[in-house]
């Protein structure tokens, strides 16, 4: 077998759906019927998962550390809010796509700033863009509502059929379907030759450039896609809560997002999803423990994760599931490895 065909074969093998993945989504769906009283918090988790998925695309696959990913979330949130408030696009799905596209456009424009410079400059530029947008949103308070946020947003029924109810049931299913569809798209992207080239860039940009991968163009492309995803997550936030306030741009949001992804592990797409569930449960647990000071414990979790080492932690977490899988299938099947942590 010649080399390209070999690579293609392995890529196809890698991209096949595994049982564990199907089980994961069935489990997610069954949550909807198991906990009918917790729709609001589950919607929140789904939203966070989508947002984390978006960061995973650039952090886990292209190796860009961003401290200001909330910028795109915020732009998506305000776009969706303004579109609905002024009756420009009233149908939620259309508004969702429009908000995503606006955020994507911003992502495309700012990606030229991101490809310039290395790690530290990137950190500063991404952080600077988010702060800049926050300052802008505060400044143009006649449009954004300033510190009060956008108020009085009324959402029309989805596709003209399903109206948002006060228990958040429709909102939850809507968010879950959006997450699933975008996940399918992300899965397709990362398993495509394009996704493979991204991983090459993450592992060694210089070498990737040497074998003929147009590094800058690939980074711009994935950054734009990630901004689109983040915009959609932000739009979902506005649509399901009928609210958009300045804190959508806040640094804490970007920092929390990094934590979500770090808990779940980067570079295998499910990291953001699992991380979102764990993070929200941790947050819930800590705020029950000390309502005002839960941030302390979240910080402690971050410090401990880093000190123990992300790779080691994921090995421990995967030990039990892998053991079960091996027992049942009898061969050395590994259900999930966090590739993002490979050197």
Nearest distance from C-beta of residue 238 to another protein, angstroms = 24
- How far lies 114's CA from each of 23, 67, 119, in Å? 38, 12, 9
Q: Cα(35)–Cα(169) distance, rounded to whole angstroms?
A: 11
Q: Which of 20, 216, 295, 322 binds another protein (CB under 8 A)?
A: 295
Beta bridge partners of 244: 150
Dihedral of the alpha carbons of 27, 29, 33, 39, in degrees to the nearest 10 = 110
Which listed residue (80, 82, 106, 259) binds another protein by CB under 8 A? 259
Count helices and strands in the chain by DSSP H and E runs: 15, 0
Segment 42 to 81, residues that bind another protein, using CB under 8 A: 59, 65, 67
Place of tokens 């149908």: 91
* Cα separation, 11 vs 182, whole angstroms: 21
Decide if residue 257 touches another protein (CB under 8 A): no
178 vs 220, beta carbon nearer another protein = 220
Residue 6 vs 138, nearer CB to another protein: 138
Q: Does 301 bind another protein (CB under 8 A)?
A: yes
| Best CA proximity match to 73, nearest among 271, 243, 249, 222 | 249
135 near another protein (CB under 8 A): yes
Site membership for another protein, residue 119 (CB under 8 A): yes
Establish if 252 lies at the interface with another protein (CB under 8 A): yes
Shortest separation between residue 77's beta carbon and another protein, angstroms: 20
Q: Does the protein bind another protein through residue 138 (CB under 8 A)? A: yes
Could you tell me the smallest distance in angstroms from the CB atom of residue 183 to another protein? 23
Which residue lies nearer to another protein by CB, 105 or 131? 131
Phi, psi (degrees; rounded to nearest 5) at 153: -80, 130
Structure tokens at 25: 């989504």
Residue range at the interface with another protein (CB under 8 A); choices 47-55, 149-157, 230-238, 301-309: 301-309
Nearer to another protein, 15 or 300 (CB): 300
Residue 64 or 83 having the CB closest to another protein: 64
**From start to end of the chain, where are the E strands?**
none
Distances (CA, A) of 189 to 57, 153, 226: 9, 34, 11
Per rule CB under 8 A, count of chain residues that contact another protein: 43
* Burial (CB count within 10 angstroms: exposed 0-12, middle 13-18, buried 19+), residue 61: buried
Among 23, 306, 333, 342, binds another protein (CB under 8 A): 306
d(CA 7, CA 252): 41
Stretch that binds another protein, among 45-53, 161-169, 209-217, 303-311 (CB under 8 A): 303-311
Is 96 in contact with 237 (CB distance < 8 Å)? no
310 scored as a contact of another protein (CB under 8 A): yes
Q: Which stretch binds another protein (CB under 8 A): 16-24, 89-97, 119-127, 319-327?
A: 119-127
- Contact residue for another protein among 123, 209, 242, 317 (CB under 8 A): 123
* Cβ-Cβ contacts under 8 Å for 333 (sequence gap 6 or more): 325, 326
Query: In the range 152-191, which residues lie near another protein by CB under 8 A?
Result: none
Instruction: Tell whether residue 206 is a contact of another protein (CB under 8 A).
Output: no
Q: Are 109 and 276 in contact (CB under 8 A)?
A: no
Q: Which residues sit at the interface with another protein, rule CB under 8 A?
A: 59, 65, 67, 113, 116-121, 123-125, 127-129, 131-132, 135-136, 138-139, 251-252, 255, 258-259, 262, 292-296, 298-303, 305-307, 310
């Amino acid at each position: 077998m010649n080399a390209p065909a070999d690579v293609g074969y392995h890529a196809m093998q890698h991209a096949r759906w595994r049982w564990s993945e199907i089980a994961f989504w069935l489990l997610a769906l069954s949550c909807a019927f198991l906990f009918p009283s917790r729709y609001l918090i589950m919607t929140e988790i789904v939203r966070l998962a989508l947002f984390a998925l978006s960061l995973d695309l650039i952090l886990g696959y292209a190796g860009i550390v961003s401290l200001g990913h909330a910028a795109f979330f915020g732009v998506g949130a305000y776009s969706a809010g303004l579109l609905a408030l002024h009756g420009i696009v009233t149908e939620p799905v259309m508004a969702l796509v429009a908000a995503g596209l606006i955020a994507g456009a911003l992502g495309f424009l700012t990606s030229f700033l991101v490809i310039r410079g290395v790690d530290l400059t990137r950190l500063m530029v991404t952080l600077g863009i988010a702060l800049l947008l926050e300052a802008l949103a505060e400044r143009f308070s006649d449009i954004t509502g300033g510190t009060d946020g956008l108020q009085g947003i009324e959402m029309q029924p989805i596709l003209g059929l399903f109206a948002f109810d006060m228990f958040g049931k429709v909102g939850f299913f809507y968010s879950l379907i959006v997450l699933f569809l975008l996940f399918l798209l992300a899965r397709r992207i990362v398993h495509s030759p394009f996704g493979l080239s991204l991983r090459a860039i993450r592992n060694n940009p210089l070498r990737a450039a040497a074998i003929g991968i147009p590094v800058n163009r690939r980074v711009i492309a994935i950054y734009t896609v990630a901004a689109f995803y983040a915009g959609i997550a932000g739009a979902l936030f506005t649509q399901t809560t009928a609210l958009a306030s300045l804190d959508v741009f806040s640094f804490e949001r970007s920092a929390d997002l990094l934590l979500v992804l770090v808990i779940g592990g980067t570079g295998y797409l499910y990291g953001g999803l699992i991380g979102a569930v764990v993070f929200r449960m941790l947050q819930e647990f800590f705020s029950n423990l000390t309502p005002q000071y839960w941030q302390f414990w979240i910080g402690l979790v971050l410090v401990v994760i880093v000190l123990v080492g992300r790779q080691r932690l994921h090995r421990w977490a995967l030990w039990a599931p892998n053991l079960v899988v091996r027992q049942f299938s009898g061969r050395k099947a590994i259900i999930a490895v966090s590739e993002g942590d490979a050197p």
